[in-house]
Structure 1
Amino acid sequence: MPTAAHSTQTWTIAPSAVDSPEALALLRAYFVEVSDRYYRLHEGRDSTPAEIEEGLADAPSDHLAPPRGLFLVGRYGAEPAACAGLLLRDEHTAELTRVFVRPDLRGTGGGRLLMAAVDAAARAFGVTRIVLDTRLDLIEARTLYTRTGYVEVPAYKDGKYAEIWYAKNLAAADRPDPA
């Protein structure tokens, strides 16, 4: 799996069980951030603990496991610090979800490395396209997506929080040469 160095720390990305303690902690951090941002924007407040628990219960991540899914954990040094989930939608398309890099480590190369690992995982699944939906206020995520080859596309599904949709084609020319 890919690695990137920054300062004295190194990023590593590897598959993880979505129900591992580190994955659950990253998923909670992801939900707290996206929920707090939503409530700050729309209601001028942070999420309540009950809203976080409700969000986690309403959007479980257990489907991000083999054989139709995958959960990646990024470590900065020894610390779990980033994650992303991939789910097969059909034989040609995978959906990217739960992309998160700890705010204090954004800009250190982990996001790009995470997205490269997502591409590699999608190729290993045999798909040629990755899709995702997100909210307009998640600027850092949207920037990461466009910087790593995603383009805005028409809506491919409905979702309560889906405001913008992206896709990336994994062209044969982008694939590494077999060694």
Structure 2
Amino acid sequence: MTRTRASTTWTVATEPFDSPVAAALWRAYYTEVSDRWYLLHEGRRTDPGELEGEIAAATGTELAPPKGQLLVARYGGEPAGSAGVRLLDTETAELKRVFVAEPMRGRGGGPVLVRAVEDVARTLGAVRIVLDTRHDLVEARALYARLGYSETAPHNDEPYAEHWFTKELRGLD
């Protein structure tokens, strides 16, 4: 089933995690977050071989139905961002891989994507959603705070996670 949510020129719809569109957005996402980390900590961009290995290892299968879903945002019909959700347990969903391509930032795509993921999480039965992010991803942390996410204690031991957030989904539209 395809779910669509529109806001002005943004549309968001489900996408197979292994589609060419998903792969291109995942590559752009991973390249950006990896390069940001390496530039901050080692003063260099990601080694191309390491990038390819990490992309190959992160298949995205956790974003496949019935316990997950990948969403792609399009701006003016063109793929411009993505976000995923997966169930951690019967009541808790996790927000994953939120990304808006750099040229499309500042046009409201991030909030549209996150709200669409929240809607999908509710349809999967979740009553809360959690996420983790890094300290240097200040734009992401600001977005989550604006959208009602609260910083919490760690809910996982991901090696690059430095901030954890949660949001209750009950009674929200």
TM-score, normalised via structure 2 length: 0.95
| Percentage of pairs with the same residue | 53
C-alpha separation between the residues in 2 aligned to 1:148 and 1:102?
A: 20
User: Tell me, which stretches of 5 or more residues in structure 2 are unaligned?
Assistant: none
Q: Which residue of 2 aligns with 1:34?
A: 33
Structure 1 stretches of 4+ moved >6 Å = none
Matches within 5 A, 1:35-114: 35-114=34-113
CA RMSD of the aligned region, Å?
Answer: 1.0
User: What is the one-letter code of the residue matched to 2:106?
Assistant: G
Cα drift, residue 72 of structure 1: 0.3
User: What is the one-letter code of the residue matched to 2:151?
Assistant: E
Cα drift, residue 59 of structure 1: 2.6
Mapped pair 1:150 → 2:149: yes
Cα drift, residue 3 of structure 1: 1.3
C-alpha separation between the residues in 1 aligned to 2:89 and 2:54?
A: 26
User: Tell me, which stretches of 5 or more residues in structure 1 are unaligned?
Assistant: none
Cα drift, residue 140 of structure 1: 1.2
User: What is the one-letter code of the residue matched to 1:144?
Assistant: L
User: What is the one-letter code of the residue matched to 1:82?
Assistant: G
Q: Which residue of 2 aligns with 1:2?
A: 5
User: What is the one-letter code of the residue matched to 2:6?
Assistant: T
Q: State whether residues 2 and 116 of structure 1, in contact with CA within 8 Å, keep that contact through their aligned partners in structure 2.
A: no
Mapped pair 1:13 → 2:12: yes
CA deviation map 1:15-49 (0-9, x unaligned):
00011100000000000000000000001111121
User: What is the one-letter code of the residue matched to 1:148?
Assistant: L
**Helix, strand or coil for the counterpart of 1:26?**
helix
C-alpha separation between the residues in 2 aligned to 1:163 and 1:58?
A: 22
C-alpha separation between the residues in 1 aligned to 2:80 and 2:156?
A: 29
**Helix, strand or coil for the counterpart of 1:71?**
strand
Cα drift, residue 57 of structure 1: 2.7
C-alpha separation between the residues in 1 aligned to 2:133 and 2:18?
A: 23
Cα drift, residue 116 of structure 1: 1.2
User: What is the one-letter code of the residue matched to 1:163?
Assistant: E
